Amino acid sequence: ANFSEQVVESFPSDISTGIYYGWACVGNGDVHKMVLSIGWNPFYKNTKKSVETHIIHTFKEDFYGEILSIVIVGYIRPEKNFDSLEALISAIQEDIEEAKRQLDLPEHLKLKEDNFFHLPEGKIVNNH
């Protein structure tokens, strides 16, 4: 799930590029583990900074247009380039496994239940 340019531009300018882990919720759905990439995606030679969320869950359908709420809990590694698509995929798999391990720690697991993820019915957030 990629955030829009407007959302990316609203992130703090001094946040380090790299791979993070945390919690994500689509709409008023369940809260799931996630890995987040903030940066330029050098393998794909992006010219604009992006923020991409990989929710560690299989959804039954697309959720375009839904509100995506995230809590960044920790940092895994800096952004880097890769020699091949296979190397990139391997690194992503390692990032996912590290996120799962970290988010199972009691101090991180408790954030899954934070009220931040429970929007009151009918509440308008960011004009949506």
With bands split at pLDDT 50, 70 and 90, how would you rate the model's confidence at 1?
confident
The answer to whether 38 and 17 have CB atoms below 8 angstroms apart is: yes
Q: Can you give the pLDDT at residue 115?
A: 87
- Average pLDDT over the chain reads 88
Q: Where are the domains of the chain?
A: 5-117
Q: Can you give the pLDDT at residue 122?
A: 53
In this predicted structure, the answer to whether residue 128 has a pLDDT above a threshold of 50 is no
Neighbours of 85 (CB within 10 A): 10
Q: Can you give the pLDDT at residue 127?
A: 47
Which token pair is 119?
Answer: 């929007």
The yes-or-no answer on residue 98 being catalytic is no
Q: Which residue is listed with tokens 């690194």?
A: 91
- Given the candidates 3.40.390.10, 2.40.30.30, 3.40.50.300, 1.10.10.60, the CATH classification of the domain at 5-117 is 2.40.30.30
Torsions phi, psi for 65 (to 5 deg):
85, -10
Read off the pLDDT of residues 44-56 as tens digits, 9 standing for 90 and up.
777 788 899 999 9
Q: Can you give the pLDDT at residue 121?
A: 61
Read off the pLDDT of residues 17-33 as tens digits, 9 standing for 90 and up.
999 999 999 988 899 99
Q: Can you give the pLDDT at residue 3?
A: 87
Secondary structure (H, E, C), the chain: CECCHHHHHHCCCCCCCEEEEEEEEECCCCEEEEEEEEECCHHHCCCCCEEEEEECCCCCCCCCCCCEEEEEEEEEECCCCCCCHHHHHHHHHHHHHHHHHHHCCHHHHHHHHCHHHCCCCCCCCCCC
Question: Which of the residues 52, 66, 79, 98 is marked catalytic?
Answer: 52
Which among 32, 104, 108, 49 is positioned nearest to 74, based on CA atoms?
108
Read off the pLDDT of residues 45-102 as tens digits, 9 standing for 90 and up.
777 888 999 999 998 888 888 889 999 999 999 998 889 999 999 999 999 999 999 9
